[in-house]
Amino acid sequence: MPRMNMIQAINSALDVMLSRDPKMLIFGEDVGYFGGVFRATDGLAAKYGAKRCFDAPISEGGIIATAIGMGAYGLRPVVEIQFADYILPAYDQLVSEAARLRYRSAGDFWAPITVRTPYGGGIFGGQTHSSSPEAIFAHVTGLKTVIPSTPYDAKGLLIAAIEEDDPVIFLEPKRLYQGPFDGHPERPVEPWSNHPASEVPEGHYAIPLGTANVVRAGRAVTVLAYGTMVHVAQAAAAETGIDAEVIDLRTLVPLDIDTVTASVKKTGRCVIVHEASRFGGYGAELSALVQEECFYHLQAPIERVTGWDTPYPHAFEWDYFPGPARVGKALRRCVEAET
Partner 1 sequence: MLRNARLSLHIPEPSARPGDRPDFRHLALRPAGETRRPEPESPAAEMRDLPYELVRVLDDQGQAQGPWAPLIPSETLRRGLAAMVLTRAFDDRIFRLQRQGKTSFYMRSTGEEALSVAPSLVLDTGDMCFPTYRNVGFLMARDYPLLDLVNQIFSNARDPLKGRQMPVLYSARDYGFYSVSGNLGSRIGHAVGWAMASAWSGDDKIALAYIGEGTVAEGAVHEALTFATVYHAPVILAISNNQWAISSFHGLAGGNETTFAARALAYGLPGLRVDGNDFLAVHAAVAWAAERARSNLGATLIEFVTYRTSGHSTSDDPARYRPDEEPAAFPLGDPVERLKTHMIAAGHWSEADHDALVRDCDERVRATVKEGEAVGTLGVTKPPLGSMFEDVFKTPDWRQIRQRREVEG
Chain positions contacting partner 1, by CB under 8 A = 25, 51, 56-57, 59, 61-62, 64-75, 77, 89, 92-93, 96-97, 100-110, 141-142, 144, 164-166, 210, 253-255, 257
303-307 β-sheet, strand order: 213-216, 244-248, 221-225, 270-277, 303-307
Q: Kindly tell me which of 137 and 177 has the beta carbon lying closer to partner 1.
A: 137
Catalytic residue list contains 60:
yes
Concerning whether 186 is annotated as a catalytic residue, the answer is no
120: amino acid identity, one letter: G
Task: In angstroms, give the least distance from the CB of 289 to partner 1.
Answer: 10
| Residue 45 main-chain phi, psi, to 5 deg | -65, -40
- Among candidate residues 60, 163, 245, 303, the one labeled active-site is 60
* Long-range Cβ pairs for the range 284-293 (8 Å, 24+): 284/135, 285/135, 285/138, 286/224, 286/260, 289/255, 289/257, 289/260, 289/261, 290/224, 290/260, 290/261, 290/264, 293/257, 293/260, 293/261, 293/264
Min dist. Cβ of residue 141 to partner 1 (A): 6
CB of residue 49 to partner 1, shortest distance in Å: 12
- Closer of 46 and 50 to partner 1 (Cβ): 50
State the minimum distance, in angstroms, from the CB of residue 57 to partner 1: 5
Task: Give SS3 for 49.
Answer: coil
Minimum distance of partner 1 from residue 72's CB (angstroms): 6
Query: What are the angstrom distances between the C-alpha of 76 and each of 34, 148, 215, 218, 313?
Result: 22, 21, 32, 41, 37
Q: Bin 181: left if φ > 0, else alpha if -120 < ψ < 50, else beta.
A: beta
Catalytic residue among 80, 97, 129, 303: 129
Instruction: Kindly list the catalytic residues.
Output: 60, 129
